[in-house]
Amino acid sequence: MCSILGVFDLRPGVDLSPLRPLALSLSARQRHRGPDWSGVHVDASAILVHERLAIVDPAGGAQPIRSAGGELVLAVNGEIYNHRDLERRLARPYAFQTGSDCEVVNALYRDGSDIGAWLAQLNGIFAFTLWDRAQRRVVIARDHMGICPLYWGHDADGRLWVASEMKALVRVCDDVAPFPPGHYYDSADSRCASGAPIRYYERAWRDYAAVAGVAADKTELREAFERAVHRQLMSDVPYGVLLSGGLDSSLVAACAARFARRRVEEDDQSEAWWPRLHSFAIGLEGSPDLKAAQVAADALGTVHHGFTYTFEEGLDALPEVIRHIETYDVTTIRASTPMYLLARRIKAMGVKMVLSGEGSDEIFGGYLYFHKAPNAVEFHEELVRKLDALHSYDCLRANKSMMAWGVEPRVPFLDVEFLDVAMRMDAAHKMAGARPDGSVRIEKAVLREAFEGYLPPEILWRQKEQFSDGVGYGWIDGLKAHAEGQVSDADFAAVEQRFPINPPQTKEAYFYRRLFEQVFPGDACARTVPGGKSIACSTPAAIAWDAAFETMADPSGRAVAGVHAATAG
């Protein structure tokens, strides 16, 4: 994974070459994402800059990637896991210039088929800009879930800018905004004339009627997830797994441990270059996650590294965390801070890629407020809503907090194939909460049942613990207490005048918003963060399920009364 920056101006007679120094300086603000090499392409109408984190083909694969004749220029942030299969199915031979998995994008574009059709074939995580010099045509696209970040906007002269992170555009684009997941923009398509991108990622399972009555095949579910983990082990550099000791990260680690000894890039025919699987966890001293992670690691036989941090170290990091993750969302900041500190430790050990467990809660209803869902229809509709918002929350957190130190996170639960398998079952099989017989079904039971025997029972059946809770309850409690001392009652009383866009609901939220505004000023930046209470247990659906959520400003999972059973930590 890397960073990209592009500038485009298709008007006749323009020359963008004088903007090269500016483009390079703005791209450098993202260099933490790609510290290994920088590449640039400049012509009269386009500038593409790439900061590379070398994961596949580190000796080659430099970007921007040019076709043999130089007519196509591609800058990609991401990985295409099924690139070899796509290469075998090309309509006509293509002269590949690198060993990069991403170069297949140029080949698919060159084949001339509908852009949306071949984008829908990609199984990977990506954000890219493709410049067709001959046709003076630009194509911009983002993966199905928005796992890779992407922003775009226009400068005062109307030129189109695109970048992996907002910090590269905030000073030049007054209209900076996230590029939507599952969409593409094609300057040659009349449907994009108004500046609106086109959706290519469509699924029937978004409508409950398409999944109603579909059985839960646990064998299919398990095998699809194993395939997802296997293909995402594609790497030519040392890698590991994030292991909090919760269900999701432990399942990722359990599956990765089964494949780690063989080299995925050679169809498992040779021994892996780094056959011992390393796992990583972080928390305050004595935190629930550190204890559970060690239990899981011992059972799986990983080389485990459990790190501790202090509250003061986390507090000191907050300004940098917010600068990197580009949000003022409370839950995201709480969880990003320990993840950011962990990424620095991982980087120091020479590891450049990790697998992580994001996405499972949105697919299976793992958040504790899902216990309150009244029926399968509303449960499913809330899953779809959570998936649609994921790029603003957990995907953003995992990507930006790890990439702050040049560590690439991959998320097998959001694999294209696995997502289809998991979402096409009737949500009735995923529902948690009280049963007519008086029993209580734990969240994500169908996933747990599919992996019986893979993990120790105390891990397989561990209750949902949000990451910001699991690192130690003192973390959130300390943040709230600190914010109380930093934001006066008078300041908070005038919150709607100070922050008319998405006014903070708590002093903690006010404190984060103030830090955000220092590096991301202006209304456009404020609007890149979804408004309202937004997270965990204060969604519109949750309020409809239980009126008590309406006054619940704290998004911690511990706040879900009657569901969360607090443990020591």
Catalytically active residues are 2
Whether residue 30 contacts residue 50, with contact meaning beta carbons closer than 8 Å, is answered with: no
Strands 183-186 and 137-142: antiparallel
Place of tokens 């930093």: 486
Closest C-alpha among 183, 181, 180, 179 to residue 199: 183
DSSP, res 464: P
Q: State yes or no: 522 annotated in a binding site.
A: no
Closest C-alpha among 151, 131, 133 to residue 142: 151
Place of tokens 């064998």: 219
Q: State yes or no: 242 annotated in a binding site.
A: yes
The set of residues, in sequence order, having a beta carbon less than 8 Å from that of 553 and lying 6+ positions away, is 505, 506, 509, 533, 538
- Is residue 459 classed as helix, strand or coil in its secondary structure? helix
What is the number of other CB atoms lying within 10 angstroms of the CB of residue 219? 8
The set of residues, in sequence order, having a beta carbon less than 8 Å from that of 468 and lying 6+ positions away, is 331, 334, 335, 338, 475, 476, 556
| Sign of the four-CA dihedral 163, 166, 171, 174 | positive
Length of the chain: 569
Q: State yes or no: 115 annotated in a binding site.
A: no
Place of tokens 């100070």: 498
Query: Rounded to 5 degrees, what are φ and ψ at 519?
Result: -110, -20
Rounded CA separation 422/46 (Å):
41
Tokens of 282: 């972080």
Residue type, 208: Y
Place of tokens 């209750």: 463
DSSP, res 179: P
Distance of CA 456 to the CA centre of its chain: 28
Rounded CA separation 356/90 (Å):
32
Q: State yes or no: 101 annotated in a binding site.
A: yes
Whether residue 555 contacts residue 535, with contact meaning beta carbons closer than 8 Å, is answered with: yes
Residue numbers belonging to the annotated binding site: 101, 242, 282, 356-357
Known binding-site residue numbers for L-glutamine:
101
Bind-site residues for ATP: 242, 282, 356-357
